[in-house]
Chain A
């Protein structure tokens, strides 16, 4: 490759890089950066007090609670459904697959509305639930359900392809070696889906943290009771309290980034067994049984 051609190649890369970075900057870096800036515009103290009001703290706690319940639920469900779809053949499998994807296609507001219609006081199960004193809509369980519903697909979408790609030979091998099904799951299946699962959980958490539409419909947005962080932020803007809004947004952003940092990193050790290019010498080093090993 002549230097002239090489020069031309690397020169052509630059406009593309600038374009890509510019796109990301325009859509993400600039707006998010502005939020951080505006939050601390009037000083850290102001921001802090805006976000440590009882309502704000309650909103944060509620959001964390919803995450703590909805994410594990969807993780277990997601792994379970992925295993079923990947390892078993049954009529209607395609339907299950499609149903899991529905939350990606439907607007969250509609999901919230449908929950309202089913579990609200005048809904299908309304009477049954009311008779037992169970409040779903305009209460925390409803928020959890809505959050779980909108974030349903993420774990499945990440784990299922991995399961399909690696196949079940490793699991079969484990069985021949005497492992019971749960041991196989714990020691073979789970480690092999680890990175896909981590990413799926990350996406689920991020989605639950940031969910607005469905939760807004289902919760009633009662400050201090059923107001999540996202609703708090939206309300703060409506109440002309931008500092609280921006400060709240900063907290949410930091939470999401924290989750990303913890779950989605790839430790160096794992690269070793995922690498395909690093191979030892060919099998010409196979010694006969009679000689000693190298």
Chain B
């Protein structure tokens, strides 16, 4: 979409204008790279000013706009440092300011938080979402991180091996996945009675009072805030159940115990196809 690669087929339209054959520099897009692509020999200030200098704006205007943007992304105090002297998150914020400087029609973020550690990624995710509400620019974010996608997006598009699988609002897609791939990609999934279901929709009972399938607990794993229990049904099939700490305590799950498991909650059941 940026024009950095040439498509084999199809067109790219921005604001109704066909830009498929328009050069990168004329498309009016802002781009952020996974590894920030900072201009290493320039200070933060000069980096952000680059797009404006290329457009030959008056110096005073450039300086004002740069200050404004640095303030926005909260790195004003680092303005005279070089990118090598910044942390990863700060560099990405600089990259964002640099991209926003030219007032792009579309902002393209290519796995912008992929190179950062988990905590920084989380912080920046929240921050990006807030930034987006104050700067109304259509933004396209590419990520492998499904949690990030769900948290940040207004609309989500899932692509699998070059094919667009589904487009929609995150919660809609989570509850009503179009196919097996989307279901497994957007959240945890396990097979139950020939169907894909969400493990947190499975409930475990100590006896058959509520009905359900008989099963044996094979393994209980404690993952901090949640418990995962792997079960083997009487039919021989295996599935796993996701429980919060509270409900796990109530269920007294122990390896080797016999339990009954049933499905509650509507939606997101998909028949298991042979191509898993």
Contact = CB atoms under 8 A, between A and B. Distances in A.
Contacts, number: 118
Nearest to A291: B74
26 contacts: A173-B39, A173-B95, A176-B30, A177-B102, A178-B25, A178-B51, A187-B50, A191-B41, A192-B40, A270-B41, A272-B85, A273-B42, A273-B84, A273-B85, A279-B86, A279-B87, A280-B81, A280-B87, A283-B116, A283-B119, A283-B120, A283-B123, A286-B127, A288-B127, A289-B134, A293-B77
Given A170-B38, A173-B37, A176-B99, 6 more contacts: A175-B4, A176-B25, A176-B30, A177-B101, A191-B41, A279-B87
B112 to A, nearest CB: 13
B24 interface: yes
A293 B71 contact: yes
A261 interface: no
Contacts of A179: 25, 50, 54
Contact of A286 (B2, B37, B51, B89): B89
A282 B87 contact: yes
B205 interface: no
A278 B84 contact: yes
A176 B100 CA distance: 11
Interface string A259-274: 0000000000010111
B184 to A, nearest CB: 32
Interface in A141-194: 166, 169-170, 172-180, 183, 187-188, 191-192, 194
Main SS of chain B's interface residues?
Answer: helix
Contacts of A183: 54
A89 interface: no
A7 interface: no
A173 B2 CA distance: 10
Interface residues of B, number: 50
B161 to A, nearest CB: 25
Given A273-B40, A273-B82, A176 B31 contact: yes
A183 B76 CA distance: 27
A19 interface: no
Contacts of B51: 177-178
B254 interface: no
Contacts of A281: 87
A178 B86 contact: no
Given A276-B84, A286-B127, A293-B74, A178 B54 contact: yes
